[in-house]
Copies of this chain bind each other. A is one copy, B any other.
Amino acid sequence: MAPTSSSLASFAVRQAVDEATCAASARAILDTLAVIAAGHREDPVTRVASALRYANGGDAMPSLGGEGAYRQEDAALVYGTASHALDYDDVCMLAICHPSAPVVAALLAAAPWDDLTGPALCEAHAIGTEVMIRIGQAVGFRHYELGFHSTATMGVFGATAAVARLRGLDTETTATALAIAASLSSGLRLNFGTMVKPLHVGIAAANALRAVAWASADVEASHGDLFAAGGVLEAFSGGTQRTWPESLSLGAPFAIARPGFEQKRYPCCYMLHKIIALGIEASTAGLRLGDVARLRIEMPRGGTRPLIYPRPVSGREAMFSAPYTLLVALNEGNVGFASFTDDAVARQHIRSRFEDVTVEEVGDDLRTAAQVGEAPVCLELQLKDGSVRRFERHAAPGSPGDPLSSTELRAKWVDCLARARAVAETGGTDQAAAALYDEGLDRLRAGNLAPWLNAVWNQFGCASDTLHNGVLG
């Protein structure tokens, strides 16, 4: 049944979250913490942070990097920007968004860590991502087509619901916070390809904290139904979707439980994931780059749109390059952070083969981004001996059809924390990071998070001895 503002608020503060959903949230939270760590010294984060002031007081939250403490909304801004700085955070094609990034960023900044328990964080994450995704589904694909960035515009609703849940707000205050969030919803795709894309996530997370703070300070907002005609859906769909679709409900099941989110396996554009998997498959099948004369990739219509660097010259460009990632996958049987340094991209034995790769879109136009995501990608290798080998991939690595295993999630975590340590030039080992992963899985299912979160932050440069009860002294 279509929710009203008030039933949405009720869902946010009261809905029970089942065990399987909480378990999925625990894995998504760990995945998001990993990419926050990996992204915490990227330019968008350091530049945004340089415009902030440090704060003090009982609710100040640790910065990333250990230099000081921030007001909660500023901490959310920085955590959120870091979470999306490498575009390595999870995805949900139901609403074409990155669901965990804004929600986790807001939650991490929303409460002093001493009071934070794993189950409370998981429940709030499940609630927040569900609210975000279902509003995104309700507003429809037209929203994205018009130029809005759903992760930002819908993220503020999800992050607000999540923070309301974590703080234990009542239904009325939560409804007010969601109504205020509606007036803070922003973010345009025209800023894609710039530092403002990750900043969008930070803004959404920070705005969620502002919405909750104002609602808690008795700022009065609309008591009407935000999702009726004349409301959120009409404005943000350009008038094509005026009310909530009757068929769409919340939490039955949670989207994170079914179909599940898409977690990136490789630190680059999601549309490269099948290509990389095909390259690795060919390598595993014993094919070597030296044996191959020509490589041809077939993608669905629209699939190549983000792959804008056929001849990359930097690590950042290579993250959106089909020829580069395919050649590396075939040549090395793997793709990771090390593949996306400027030095790696400069390697002559890879660059010299760019001209041998062709990428083509085939087939009919597809209606939705989800359909583009589901359509197969093919790799055809013409060998020097004249033979042809063909590989096909339906499910993207990390998608619900081929989800990351526990081992792969753990490896991604270790890899991300290693990158974080490297850029922060701190100590710590992969073994310590791996142990933190296992501890995190336990604590997120049952336990207090403070000592563990402090230890994670410590891994990437926030000296834990400046933390006192989860708050910087």
Contacts and interface: CB of A to CB of B under 8 A. Distances in A.
B187 A191 contact: no
Nearest to A224: B190
A121 B115 CA distance: 48
Interface string A213-250: 11011111111101000111011011110000000000
Max chain B C-beta neighbours (<10 A), residue from A145, A147, A190: A190
A469 interface: no
Given A220-B194, A239-B146, A48 B214 contact: yes
B50 A188 contact: no
Contacts of A53: 55, 57, 71
Contacts of A234: 146-147
Interface stretch (A33-41, A103-111, A177-185, A346-354): A177-185
A157 interface: no
Nearest to A231: B190
A335 interface: no
Given A213-B51, A217-B47, A235-B148, A190 B182 contact: yes
Contact of A230 (B187, B190, B219, B226): B190
Contact of A222 (B191, B200, B218, B240): B191
Contacts of A51: 213-214, 216-217, 219
Interface in A32-72: 43-44, 47-48, 50-51, 53, 55, 57, 71
A191 to B, nearest CB: 5
Given A146-B239, A222-B194, A184 B213 contact: no
Contacts of A44: 219
Interface residues on A, range: 35 or more
Contacts of A231: 147, 188, 190
Interface in A15-43: 43
Contacts of A190: 179, 182-183, 222, 224, 226, 230-232
A237 B226 CA distance: 20
A196 B217 contact: no
A454 interface: no
B203 A183 contact: yes
Contacts of A145: 239
A239 B149 CA distance: 15
Interface in A283-338: none
B48 A183 contact: no
A287 B71 CA distance: 61
Given A184-B186, A224-B190, A238-B146, A196 B179 contact: yes
A472 to B, nearest CB: 15
B196 A47 contact: no
A163 interface: no
A149 B182 CA distance: 12
A51 B223 CA distance: 21
A199 B226 contact: no
Instruction: Kindly list the 9 A-B residue pairs having the minimum CB-CB distance in the complex, ordered from nearest.
Output: A238-B238, A147-B235, A186-B186, A51-B217, A51-B213, A196-B221, A195-B220, A47-B219, A146-B235
Given A44-B219, A146-B234, 20 more contacts: A47-B214, A47-B217, A48-B214, A148-B235, A179-B191, A179-B194, A183-B187, A183-B188, A183-B200, A185-B186, A188-B231, A188-B232, A189-B230, A190-B224, A190-B226, A194-B223, A196-B219, A199-B219, A237-B238, A238-B239
26 contacts: A47-B218, A47-B219, A48-B217, A51-B216, A53-B57, A147-B232, A147-B234, A147-B235, A152-B183, A179-B191, A180-B191, A183-B186, A183-B188, A183-B190, A185-B186, A188-B232, A190-B224, A190-B230, A190-B232, A194-B220, A194-B222, A194-B223, A195-B219, A196-B220, A196-B221, A238-B240
